[in-house]
Amino acid sequence: MPRGEAVRNFLYSDTIKVLSKNARVTVLSVVDDPVFIDKFNNYTEQVIKLIDFKESKLVYRLRQIIHDAHFKWLGSYVAVNYFDRKAIKEKKEGRYLKYKLWYALVSLLANQFLLKWITKIENWITWKYRPNDYFVNLFKELKPDLVFNTSHIHGPAGDLPAKIAHKMGIPVAGFVFSWDNLTSRSRITVPYDYYFVWTSDIKKDLIRIYPFVNPENIFVTGTPQFDYHFREEFILTKEELAKEIGFDPNRPYILYTSGIAWHWLEEHLHLEKVIQYMKELDLPSKPQLVVRTYVKGTSPQIFAIRDRNISDIYFPKVEWDEKLFTPSYNDLSIYSSLLKHASLGINGASTVTLELFIFGIPVINLGFDPENSNIDYHMRYYRNILFDHYQPVANSGGTGVAMSNNDIKKFISEAFEEPDKRRMAQMLFIKNMFGDTLDGKAAERIGLDLLKLAGVEIN
């Protein structure tokens, strides 16, 4: 468990229950709070602190070369944008010549053959210059039949033990954490034996980018983070949700989910316009606005709007640990219920859009820079619409991509006057993307598959 968000997917869900019923389970977790650990004592033999050891500078440098060479070869929109931003930054800081030499190096390495071999070298160096034998001794003691890394990205603490396990001949499985990861994140350097992915299209991308991976070792399971949306026990009534948030349950509400501050610059200006247009709506029942801020970084300007205590605008506390980004168990119900009971959802271009599609809720995506903002071209809002994983969503007809303030106003009115206008397009997109995996049982499927891979006979 190399990151807090993985707790939602695999410890709060049915995965840990399925595993513990049929096998002995040891959890290595970056989250080691005693109260947290106590929740899972009945499902594990032990929970061990997952230590993020500092590795050799040589290893880190080689990984950066692999990262940039892979991005150069991949050529996704995110990768191109990455180099644009990096060039501008290095030029501003007087290191442009050094950057151009670096760019030339990674360009030479940017092909499938060399990427494969330089990754093998990275694996060998990681083993050769490992900080210590902590994980070697731990795996000798535990004798696991399978090691499962619950987040292949954003959790670097999981990579070293996974690589060491593989070197020791222990089968290793990894979960591709999100739908954008293969095109918006860099190379997978852990030599996984098995992969778990959300959709069949992600499986195709994995095979395209890593042609040496055996397709039979890639499991399409859906994602446990969506399971809660399909489980009655995690859906509050609107009245119950209103007690948690404080809004009027007899009136509709718009759900605005903000993005990370450094990525969605000056987003408070968009939020101000949404508030303005919401109040101008001529409806029998005036809508309210619920703003769910992003736990990984919300701008002080958005919090300043919160602190104005505007009537009918609610900023519920997001129940996540802000250090390791671990959601509380209670937040699962609040979040699923916020999605289900909303009359409209507004976000930049995020996974929240897919979740609103699931519930058939009208969606607005923000495809233009806020009015009176001063945002560099390489950070413009529209780039998010063009990202490889997001273009199909934007083109699906299921969401209104606002390209002006007038579009925001128009799409807000549309959501209340014709709430079902885009629902068919949403349902078709979700069906084509996820197939039959949206059934609340992704976590269970992953648990059962892990048991089979570990050679466990399931009772």
Q: What is the pLDDT of residues 85-121, one digit of tens each?
A: 999 999 999 999 999 999 999 999 999 999 999 999 9
Q: Where are the beta strands (DSSP E) in 350-433?
A: 363-366, 400-402
Per-residue pLDDT, 149: 98
What is the percent of the chain with per-residue pLDDT over 70, rounded to a whole number?
100
Per-residue pLDDT, 304: 97
The alpha carbon dihedral of 176, 205, 164, 19 has a sign of positive
Burial 401-437 (b: 16+ CB within 10 A, else e): bbeebebbbebbebbbeeeeebbeebeebbeebbeeb
Residue 118 Cα distances to 76, 125, 164, 253, 261, angstroms: 21, 10, 18, 52, 35
The answer to whether residue 459 scores a pLDDT higher than 70 is no
Q: Per residue in 417-437, pLDDT tens?
A: 999 999 999 999 999 999 999
> What is the token pair recorded at 301?
């300007």
Cβ(278)–Cβ(272) below 8 Å: no
Q: Per residue in 283-330, pLDDT tens?
A: 888 999 999 999 888 999 999 999 999 999 999 999 888 778 889 999
The answer to whether residue 45 scores a pLDDT higher than 90 is yes
The answer to whether residue 264 scores a pLDDT higher than 90 is yes
Give the residue from 246, 268, 273, 306 showing the smallest Cα distance to 412: 273
Per-residue pLDDT, 69: 98
Question: How long, in residues, is the chain?
Answer: 459
**Residues 6+ positions from 156 with CB-CB distance below 8 Å:** 2, 52
Residue 408 Cα distances to 144, 291, 337, 440, angstroms: 53, 16, 24, 33
The answer to whether residue 196 scores a pLDDT higher than 70 is yes
> H or E stretch including 330?
helix 329-341
> What is the token pair recorded at 16?
């840990």
